[in-house]
Amino acid sequence: MLRSISTRISYIVAAVVIASTLVTLLFTSSTVEEDMTNAQGRTARNTIRMGMLYLQEGYQSLDRYRKHAFDDRRQSIKDSMTIFMSQIDSYYELYKSGKLSEKEAKEAAYKLARNTRYFNNDYFFIYTDKLEALAHPDRTLEGRDLSNLSDINGYAFGPDMIRKATREGGGYVKLLWTRLGEDEPISKILYVKGFSKWKWIIGTGAYVDDIEASVERQKQDLLHDMRKGFSQIRLAETGRLFLFDNDKKVLVPPRGAGPEFAKTLNLKTGNTLIHDLKEVGKLGEWRLDYKVRRQDGEIVRRQSYVHYFAPLGWFVASTVPMKEIYAPVRDLIVKQGAISFIILLLTIGVIYYVIRRICLPIRSVSRVAYHVSQGDLREAKRVFAMATDKGHLKKVVESFETGKEKRFDEVDHLVKSIHTMLLTLNSLVSQVQVSGDQVTGSALKLGTAINQLEAAVENQAAATQELGSSSREISATSQELARTMNESTTVAVSTGELAAQGVHDLGEMGVTMDAMRDASGGIFSKLSVINSKAANISSVVTSISKISEQINLLSLNAAIEAEKAGEFGQGFSVVAREIRKLADQTAMSTLDIEKIVAEMLSAVSAGVMEMDKFRKQVETGVSNVALLGDGISGVVTQVQTLTPRFESVNEGMQNQSEGAEQISKAMIQLSETSIQTKDALTEFVSITEQLSSSVSSLEEEVAAFQVDQD
């Protein structure tokens, strides 16, 4: 027997469920990893955007402070210039009023420019409108042409000073210049204004390094606030934000990072991490995946997002270990795997129970089919009865028997088909066995009748041969008697003796004719028996033909039922084909027997007719012989007086000779008919043996089935 189909289906379903679960876990893992990565990226980008907003606010605050400080500083410079210009005007008025000479007035103005200081050691200077130095705290510059002078950055500020002082009525110029007493140039704002009365350009300026220092302090405060804020921000478990500038200087390192963080190498590119992040930020991208080596030597994968804040030249970046991004994914996969395993066990249990419930009828039906294929219909019925004693199959069979089929599936119809096929096959095989027994009995009876008929035909042939010999002897005797009667006219004297001898011979011939009449009567009766037996054979052949037709019909029904049963009815289909072949052979043999019996009936009927005719002729001959005996007796008594009538007697003898010759011919014909009848009986015996062999084969095939005899 094969393995349980429910077990195999359960294995298949379990394999499918396991495969789908694994595929789902893999798909979920990859999808969730991607989603977690994207989610972490969104979180990092949003956090960086928040940092950028804070930087934007800090920058705007710095920008407002710087702008306000510069505006105040420029206004202060302008106000100082107004005061200084009023003093220069006073000197000019003293010159105009004659209190001071022009030279004295100018010298007073020069002295005032050289000695006046304000704010952070800021000063005034006086140039001609061609930018020749007249008065300057740095006396080394006096008398020099400064029109082509440039600052440390190469900015030639002379033409701008001339334009703003003479044509624009005053203006500001920004440059890098060295503070008095120092060597390093710093940022400075100049305000220049023309004094047309003496064709001067008067200027003053203020160094703004204090403003930049104050801005820088605010930047440091901003960085402090950023450092404090970044320390509170956490991405995943240990992910942090950090800040660096265009010079790759780490302004706010990630919390927990070592002092060598700025030198951390990206093992994928061989560059420093800060370098790669700067390149990514400058390109407008966000994400960078990289590998770094920790202090303990372990290589870890990390993910960073970076954004560039151009106004300050700063980069805000994040760094998160990849394993922390994937940790929730692993936890989720483990939990989902455990849940899937529990669901898998429950699913397999439920599916096995359901499939077992579905496959139990199939298993029972397969056992029934197995016993049927082995020819044990009795055991098959017992197994089917045990399977249908209780449960769903009992309801199915009862519903089929009552004709109420509702909501039945293919298995239920298979049970119905097997049940119907089992009943039909059992009935078919039982009928075939009974029919085989009947055919066997008929064949035995037919064989006995044929043997009897064969013996009778042999006796008839022997009697016919004897009768033929007697007829030939009679014919020869009649011819000889005719010749004798021809000679009787010359030997009338010996007629008495011959007549006496003739009377004696006629007595013997009468006995012979009586025997011939009795033999012909026996032959006639035996031929009648043969005719009746042949008629019986015809009826037996008809019965065999009907039986073969019934067997053929039953085998056809069995083949139809086996075809309905599908693969379970293949064994029945083979048996049905064999039964149909045997039925066809029986039908063919029956047709041959019927043909031979018909020929035999025809021959026997002809023999009966000929024998009846011969019997009548024999009876006529017996009568003639009796009359002849009476005549001869009269001849014996009146032989002396009947000599003249020998001619008429001679004529009668001639007629008797001709009748004897006709009898001889009829006996020859009867002998030939008997031979043909014997040959036909021999052929009929062969056909009967073939029929008996076919019936034996059929019985052997059917004997393989064990059926219940109802």
Cα–Cα distances (Å) from 243 to 49, 187, 487, 691, in that order, read 13, 27, 174, 112
CA pair distance 561, 372, nearest whole angstrom: 13
The whole-angstrom distance between residue 27's C-alpha and the CA centroid of its chain comes to 23
Tell me whether strands 185-195 and 287-293 are parallel, antiparallel or unpaired.
unpaired
Burial of 660 (0-12, 13-18, 19+ CB in 10 A): buried
In the chain, count H helices and then E strands. Answer: 12, 10
CA pair distance 418, 170, nearest whole angstrom: 120
Question: Taking Cα atoms as reference points, which of 491, 514, 518, 510 lies closest to residue 632?
Answer: 510
CA pair distance 375, 382, nearest whole angstrom: 13
The band of 457, judged by pLDDT with boundaries at 50, 70 and 90, is low
Looking at the predicted structure, is the pLDDT value of residue 555 above 60? yes
| 8-state DSSP, 156 | B
Q: Which of 68-77, 163-172, 235-244 has the lowest mean pLDDT?
A: 235-244
Secondary structure string (H, E, C) spanning 357-389: HHHHHHHHHHHHHHHHHCCCHHHHHHHHHHHCC
Q: What pLDDT is recorded for position 93?
A: 94
Q: What is the mean pLDDT of residues 423-446?
A: 67
Q: Which amino acid is at 31?
A: T
Q: What is the mean pLDDT of residues 155-165?
A: 91
Report pLDDT digits (tens) over 656-672: 667 666 766 766 776 67
Q: What pLDDT is recorded for position 667?
A: 64
For the residues of 314-341, what is the DSSP string, one character each?
Answer: EEEEEEEEHHHHHHHHHHHHHHHHHHHH
Q: What pLDDT is recorded for position 62?
A: 86
Looking at the predicted structure, is the pLDDT value of residue 594 above 50? yes
Q: What is the mean pLDDT of residues 421-448?
A: 67
Q: What pLDDT is recorded for position 396?
A: 61
CA pair distance 383, 376, nearest whole angstrom: 11
The whole-angstrom distance between residue 129's C-alpha and the CA centroid of its chain comes to 101
Residue with tokens 């039945």: 408
Question: Taking Cα atoms as reference points, which of 472, 480, 473, 470 lies closest to residue 650?
Answer: 480
Q: What is the mean pLDDT of residues 348-370?
A: 71
The band of 223, judged by pLDDT with boundaries at 50, 70 and 90, is confident
| 8-state DSSP, 220 | H
Tell me whether strands 287-293 and 299-309 are parallel, antiparallel or unpaired.
antiparallel
Q: What pLDDT is recorded for position 1?
A: 38
Q: What pLDDT is recorded for position 386?
A: 67
397, 387 Cβ separation under 8 angstroms: no
Residue with tokens 């059917």: 702
Residues paired with 172 in a beta bridge: 191
Q: What is the mean pLDDT of residues 127-145?
A: 91
**Token pair of 538 as six digits:** 């015809």
Q: What is the mean pLDDT of residues 466-470?
A: 64
**Bigger pLDDT: 293 vs 38:** 293
Q: Which amino acid is at 613?
A: K
Q: What pLDDT is recorded for position 201?
A: 94
CA pair distance 176, 154, nearest whole angstrom: 10
Burial of 403 (0-12, 13-18, 19+ CB in 10 A): exposed
Residue-range domain boundaries for the chain? 5-63+218-333, 65-215, 432-703
Looking at the predicted structure, is the pLDDT value of residue 253 above 70? yes
Looking at the predicted structure, is the pLDDT value of residue 46 above 70? yes
Q: What is the mean pLDDT of residues 185-197?
A: 91
Looking at the predicted structure, is the pLDDT value of residue 126 above 80? yes
The band of 79, judged by pLDDT with boundaries at 50, 70 and 90, is very high
| 8-state DSSP, 407 | S
Q: What is the mean pLDDT of residues 139-145?
A: 89
Q: What is the mean pLDDT of residues 330-340?
A: 73
Q: What is the mean pLDDT of residues 40-65?
A: 85
Q: Which of 12-16, 145-149, 691-695 has the lowest mean pLDDT?
A: 691-695
**Bigger pLDDT: 204 vs 120:** 204
For the residues of 631-660, what is the DSSP string, one character each?
Answer: HHHHHHHHTTT-GGGHHHHHHHHHHHHHHH
Instruction: Collapse the DSSP code of 555 into the 3-class scheme (helix H, G, I; strand E, B; otherwise coil) and give the result.
Output: helix
The band of 171, judged by pLDDT with boundaries at 50, 70 and 90, is very high
Q: What pLDDT is recorded for position 285?
A: 72
CA pair distance 416, 401, nearest whole angstrom: 9
428, 375 Cβ separation under 8 angstroms: no
| CATH number listed for the domain at residues 65-215 | 3.30.450.20
Whole-number average pLDDT of the chain: 76
Q: What would you measure as the largest C-alpha separation in the chain, in angstroms?
A: 244
Looking at the predicted structure, is the pLDDT value of residue 191 above 60? yes
Looking at the predicted structure, is the pLDDT value of residue 520 above 80? no
Cα–Cα distances (Å) from 239 to 127, 236, 304, 315, 381, in that order, read 62, 6, 9, 17, 78
Q: Which of 294-308, 377-391, 598-612 has the lowest mean pLDDT?
A: 377-391
**Bigger pLDDT: 570 vs 220:** 220
Burial of 240 (0-12, 13-18, 19+ CB in 10 A): buried
Residue with tokens 């039925």: 583
**Token pair of 520 as six digits:** 């012909």
Question: Taking Cα atoms as reference points, which of 433, 237, 194 lies closest to residue 324?
Answer: 237
Looking at the predicted structure, is the pLDDT value of residue 2 above 60? no
Q: Find which of 171-175, 233-237, 484-488 is predicted with most confidence, using mean pLDDT.
A: 171-175
Secondary structure string (H, E, C) spanning 54-103: HHHHHHHHHHHHHHHHHHHHHHHHHHHHHHHHHHHHHHHHHHHHCCCCHH
CA end-to-end distance (rounded Å), the chain: 30
Report pLDDT digits (tens) over 611-657: 677 667 767 766 776 776 676 677 557 655 656 665 665 676 666 66
State the CATH class of domain 5-63+218-333. alpha beta
CB-facing half-sphere around the CA of 398: CA atoms within 13 A: 8
Instruction: Collapse the DSSP code of 302 into the 3-class scheme (helix H, G, I; strand E, B; otherwise coil) and give the result.
Output: strand
Neighbours of 265 (CB within 10 A): 16
| Phi and psi torsions of 432, nearest 5° | -65, -40
**What share of the chain in percent tops pLDDT 90?**
12
Say yes or no: do domains 5-63+218-333 and 65-215 share a fold.
Answer: yes
Instruction: Collapse the DSSP code of 232 into the 3-class scheme (helix H, G, I; strand E, B; otherwise coil) and give the result.
Output: helix
Query: pTM for the full model?
Result: 0.44
Residues paired with 235 in a beta bridge: 239
- Residue 192: its H or E element: strand 185-195
- Residue 693: its H or E element: helix 646-703
Q: What pLDDT is recorded for position 703?
A: 64
Angle at 58 between CA 55 and CA 59, to 5 degrees: 85
Cα–Cα distances (Å) from 677 to 127, 324, 538, 589, 619, in that order, read 171, 113, 16, 20, 25
Residues paired with 657 in a beta bridge: none
CATH architecture entry for 432-703: Orthogonal Bundle (1.10)
| H-only helix segments in 98-180 | 102-115, 158-162
The band of 110, judged by pLDDT with boundaries at 50, 70 and 90, is very high
